Amino acid sequence: MEPQIIDYYNEMPSGVNVIEKMNEELAQVQKENDELKKKLESKQREEPPVVIYKDQEELDRVKEEAYGEFYNRFKKVNLGPWFIHPHLMNAIDILLTKLLKDNKERSLWPDSKAFEIQTYIGSTIGPLKESNGYLDYDLIYNIIKNNIEEMFEPEECYGIVKFRCEKCNELDDYLVDGECHECRFPDSDD
């Protein structure tokens, strides 16, 4: 920016005022950007959702149906060099959403877990393809299924799966004959 005649008579050149105003605007935009980043990070660190099943039989039925749909969708994914993303991740996301019983309250949890699983598949299966040029749908399907099965096991499920006690109507991680631990053992201190 070239100096102007008026700058000779002012304490600060006119260009400095423009730069200061631009710096103020930049500071405001950076502040808004930081706030949005914090919101995004809090969403990404979101707790896993909770899905309520009547009992283990309902969970098993939903799993069987969801895995069947997933396998059919997965068999259509090309196992070429770019199969990992986004088609596999999308199929895993749909599977997880089904296992969450299509909860209307959408969270980022299925997306982030789908990304973790597809990244794991890419890092473990990718070298196999490079070494022998062979990828097997059933091998990849079993790896994905085992990973998700572990996530949804009552002992390992991060609190995702909850069952409703038939007696007290409370949610619990584990039921025996439809009753929670407290209903089965009302006098225990545990």
Question: Average of pLDDT values for 22-29?
Answer: 85
81-122, pLDDT tens digit by residue?
A: 555 557 788 888 889 888 888 764 556 778 888 888 888 887
Range of lowest pLDDT (106-110, 135-139, 164-168, 175-179)? 106-110
145 in the same domain as 66: yes
Same domain, 78 and 142: yes
pLDDT digits (tens, 9 = 90+) for 31-85: 887 887 776 666 555 566 777 888 788 888 999 999 999 999 888 877 665 555 5
Number of domains in the chain: 2
What's residue 46's pLDDT?
Answer: 58
**Considering only CA atoms, which of 113, 181, 122 is closest in space to residue 148?**
113
Where is pLDDT greater, at 171 or 158?
A: 171
- Asked whether residue 91 is assigned to any structural domain, the reply reads yes
Same domain for 67 and 117, yes or no, is: yes
pLDDT exceeds cutoff 70 at 29: yes
Confidence at residue 159, expressed as pLDDT on a 0 to 100 scale: 65
> Is the pLDDT score of 132 beyond 80?
no
Cβ neighbourhood burial of 129 (10 Å; 0-12, 13-18, 19+): middle
Q: Are residues 97 and 148 in the same domain?
A: yes
On whether both 133 and 97 belong to a single domain, the answer is yes
Q: In the predicted model, what is the mean pLDDT of the chain?
A: 77
- Amino acid 183: pLDDT: 87
On whether both 149 and 103 belong to a single domain, the answer is: yes
- Identify the residue with better confidence: 15 or 24: 24
Same domain membership, residue 118 and residue 64: yes
The reported pTM is 0.63
Say yes or no: 18 and 80 in one domain: no
**138 and 78 in a common domain:** yes
Q: Is residue 189 part of a domain?
A: no
CB 175 within 8 A of CB 165: yes
Q: Phi, psi at residue 62, to the nearest 5°?
A: -65, -40
pLDDT given for residue 104 in this prediction: 47
Host domain of residue 112: 60-153
